[in-house]
Structures are given as C-alpha cells and as structure tokens.
C-alpha cells in the first residue's frame, strides 16, 4: 500500500543484498525465520513466513548465488526430533519456487553440510536442518558459529522474527564472515518500524494485549514519540485501577499499578501526547464465549463482572482519531478477539485502519503475533496494511528502543 502524501521514508542504515553487485558463484549463508505452524501430520498450516522470504530468495537465486538457508522450528532443546524437522518447509519451498532446485540436508551436522555444498549449483538452494537441533545454537557457541560461517562467503540475515536473539545462526556467525548484509524482508521491517518511530508527522499508537508487564517499556518509549497513545486489551484495567476505578474481576496486574499511574501522570503533564483509555466497555459475567454481557461506562464495571472488549463509544472515538492520523502503529488486540462477542472493537478498528490505508490516507504498521492472528481471523490480508511485521518479540523490542543483536551485527552503509 502507498504511504500517505508527505510521509517520510527512513533510509536503511544497514547494507543489504542489493549492495553486492556480483553474486554469481558466491555462497549466501542466509538466516530465515521458517518457524511455520504445522498440524500433527507435519503439514504446514500457515506459510506466510515462507511467502515473506520469497523476494530475498528470488533475488539471490536470480543473481546466481548459492543459497544456504539456516532456520529453526519450535523448541527441540538441542535434540534431533522428527516433529521439528524442516523437511516440510523444504517441500513447500520447492512448490513456491518451481523454477529453482531446492535441496534439503536431512542429516544434521557439520560433517554432512560440506559434502552437500559440493553439489550445489549457482542459483540453487540448500536448506539446512533445524538449527535448534544443536546445543550450540541457542548458546551462541563460538565454535558452532564458526562451523556455520565456513559454509558461506556472505552472511545474509533476513530473519527479523529472531533478530532479538543472540544465537549462533542469527548473530554469532556474523563474527566469522567479512560481509554481513540484510535481506529484503529485514530491510522492509527496519524501514517500516523506523519510519513510524521517527516521523515528523502525528503518530497514533494503539497498544493492546493482555498484560502491561509485556508492554511497559514500549509504552515508556512511545510516550515521547506519539500524538495519541491508545491503550486497549487487558492492559486497560491496570490503568483504570491506577486512576482509582473499580475493575470488577477484570485482569489487573497489581505490581504494575504504580507504573501505570506514573505513565498517566507523565502523559497528563505533557503538551504533545494524549493517552487514551476506553470510555465504555463490553463486560461479561465470566470468561466464556457464551457469557452474559452488557455495555457499561468504563468507570461503572459491576462487581463480579470483567471487561473483555472496548465499547461502541470507544470505537467511535478511536475511529475519529484515526481519521486524522497520517501514521498508525498498532500492536496488540483491543479485546478477546478469539470470542466473537468480544471481537467487535478489534474488528472495527482493523477495518478502519485498512480502509484509510487503501485510500492512501495513512501509513499503517502492525506488529505482534496476536495482532496478526486477529486480522487474519477477521478475514483481512497483510496487503491491506502498509506493513505487517513478521516479528512478535522482535518488533516489541525494536519499539522499546533496544538494540537487536541480529541487526547490530550487520554492516552499515
């Protein structure tokens, strides 16, 4: 989707695969995030991460590089397990790249990697077995990283979803290769998140989800960068309690009430940011899809009831704010979207953002696994927004202002 008129695109400060003018015959040691969900029979149920990597894979294979892919799947804890094999990923890769030969290294280990490389032709792909079959991966063992590095001439990190992990295949390998560049997906992630965080134009950030504890640093970092900071999801009730409002049986993190109070105080003292909590809520008598519900003002939650979605007044207020927001950052659903009775707020806001993006009136950047799950459940496509991040924890840490090791290892422009 096009960015709105006047939007400022941030230049990527890291070198990318485009900066290498001749890939012919070079071995691209490529880190991807192919942690794809599978059913009990090993069939991939969602290949969006594979699809997101295709621009990088097509660029490198068209340029006649020898592409050696490292990835992970699940949490095998350093042990070989058929359940976590990347073989289904190799099979799906071959289907989505029919003109490219895809090899799979089924026998995991450095001794077999080198022999497989001998038969790898220019423009072909070799997918290595699950990196997390090796204890040295998550431990970022220097010797294991060195063994990996011996497979390539250039390290290409395209796995934004694991860029916050200092593992051997995401960060350690970069210490043993002279050239480290970003793939096209990594480039897109950095540019999209940087553009909203550094825009000179008004930014609305919608931060939802269940717990303040997982988003507190994000909220603190965004407070000085946004025009409107909208709080949604279960986090709302910790903030309401900080204002002295009774919250019934709603989710409250008592250990974070004081921090929420400090954020509210800082926002009220600011002349540049407005922190927004819901005006009304959909409450239920229990956490259940068939629960009895009612809509009440946010400060009138009945005893024994819990808030599970924002109400219609809150939806209209947020839609009015979005109408005048050239940049929107959204991380976390606004209610318990998994239950239809409590998905209305998330659905309405998602559709509003998608409509405004389609009209070229806003640049929309979405992040977080629950946010992605919500828009997919609601029947919206990733293409309905300017950018949908592939990184859950990684996008959160980026928004917190942290340095991600898988990005920091890359060569700068």
CATH number, domain containing residue 157: 3.40.50.1260
What is the share, in percent, of the chain residues with pLDDT greater than 70? 97
239/236 Cα distance (integer angstroms): 5
Of the listed 27, 31, 49, 66, which one is catalytic?
49
- Alpha carbon distance 269, 206 (integer Å): 20
Q: What are 315's two structure tokens?
A: 């939806």
Predicted pLDDT at 11: 63
pLDDT at 6: 41
87 is catalytic: no
Residues 308 and 394 in one domain: yes
Q: In this predicted model, what pLDDT tens digit does every residue of 250-301 receive, in sequence order? A: 999 999 999 999 999 999 999 999 999 999 999 999 999 999 999 999 999 9
Q: Is 174 a catalytic residue?
A: no
Question: Is residue 229 within 8 Å of residue 274, measured between CB atoms?
Answer: yes
Please tell me the total count of domains within the chain.
Answer: 2
- Rounded to a whole number of angstroms, the distance between the first and last alpha carbons of the chain is 27
Sign of the Cα pseudo-torsion (215, 199, 204, 276, in order) = positive
- Whether 152 sits among the annotated catalytic residues: the reply is no
304 is a catalytic site residue: no
What number is the average pLDDT over the span 374-395?
Answer: 90
Backbone angles phi, psi at 249, to 5 degrees: -100, 20
Which domain-ending residue is among 159, 182, 205? Answer: 182
For residue 57, pLDDT beyond 60: yes
54 has a pLDDT exceeding 50 = yes
Q: Which two tokens stand for residue 16?
A: 């990318």
Residue 157 clears pLDDT 90, i.e. is over it? yes
Do 198 and 168 lie in one domain? The reply is no
State residue 10's pLDDT score: 52
CA distances from 48 to 109, 219, 367 (A): 28, 28, 14
Q: Does residue 118 sit in the same domain as residue 246?
A: no
Residue 108 pLDDT level (bands cut at 50, 70, 90): low
- Both 227 and 324 in one domain: the answer is yes
pTM > 0.75: yes or no: yes
Domain that holds residue 127: 17-182
Catalytic residue chosen out of the listed positions 58, 227, 351, 369: 369
Kindly name the residue from 64, 211, 227, 361 that is annotated as catalytic: 211
Q: Does 344 share its domain with 198? A: yes
Query: Which residues, in sequence order, are bridge partners of residue 206?
Result: 230, 330
Average pLDDT over residues 287-316: 98
Which residue do the tokens 């005048």 mark? 324
């Amino acid at each position: 989707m096009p960015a709105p008129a006047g939007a400022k695109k941030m230049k990527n400060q890291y070198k990318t695969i485009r900066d290498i003018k001749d890939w012919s015959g070079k071995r691209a040691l490529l880190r991807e995030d192919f942690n794809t969900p599978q059913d009990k029979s090993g069939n991939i149920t969602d290949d969006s991460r594979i699809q997101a990597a295709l621009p990088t894979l097509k660029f490198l294979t068209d340029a006649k590089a020898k592409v050696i892919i490292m990835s992970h799947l699940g949490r095998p804890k350093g042990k070989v397990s058929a359940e976590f094999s990347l073989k289904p990923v190799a099979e799906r890769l071959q289907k989505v790249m029919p003109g490219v030969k895809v090899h799979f290294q089924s026998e995991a280990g450095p001794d077999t990697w080198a022999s497989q490389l001998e038969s790898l032709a220019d423009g072909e792909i070799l997918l290595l077995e699950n990196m997390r079959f090796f204890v040295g991966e998550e431990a970022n063992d220097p010797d294991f990283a060195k063994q990996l590095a011996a497979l390539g001439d250039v390290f290409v990190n395209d796995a934004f979803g694991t860029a916050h992990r200092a593992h051997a295949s995401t960060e350690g390998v970069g210490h043993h290769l002279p050239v480290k560049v970003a793939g096209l997906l990594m480039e897109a992630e950095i540019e999209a998140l940087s553009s909203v965080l550094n825009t000179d134009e008004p930014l609305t950030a919608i931060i939802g989800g269940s717990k303040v504890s997982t988003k507190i640093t994000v909220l603190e970092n965004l407070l000085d960068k946004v025009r409107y900071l909208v709080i949604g999801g279960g986090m709302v009730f910790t903030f309401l309690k900080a204002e002295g409002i009774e919250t019934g049986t709603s989710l409250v993190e008592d250990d974070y009430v004081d921090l929420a109070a400090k954020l509210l105080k800082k926002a009220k003292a600011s002349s540049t940011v407005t922190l927004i909590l819901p005006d009304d809520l959909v409450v239920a008598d229990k956490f259940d899809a068939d629960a009895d519900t009612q809509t009440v003002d946010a400060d009138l939650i009945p005893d024994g009831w819990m808030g599970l979605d924002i109400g219609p007044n809150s939806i209209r207020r947020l839609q009015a704010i979005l109408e005048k927001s050239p940049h929107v950052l959204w991380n976390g659903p606004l209610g318990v979207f998994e239950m239809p009775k409590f998905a209305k707020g998330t659905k309405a806001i998602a559709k509003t953002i998608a409509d405004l993006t389609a009209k070229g009136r806003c640049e929309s950047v979405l992040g977080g696994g629950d946010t992605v799950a919500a828009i997919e459940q609601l029947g919206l496509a990733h293409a309905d927004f300017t950018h949908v991040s592939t990184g859950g924890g990684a996008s959160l840490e980026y928004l917190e202002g942290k340095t991600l090791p898988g990005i920091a290892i890359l060569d700068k422009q």
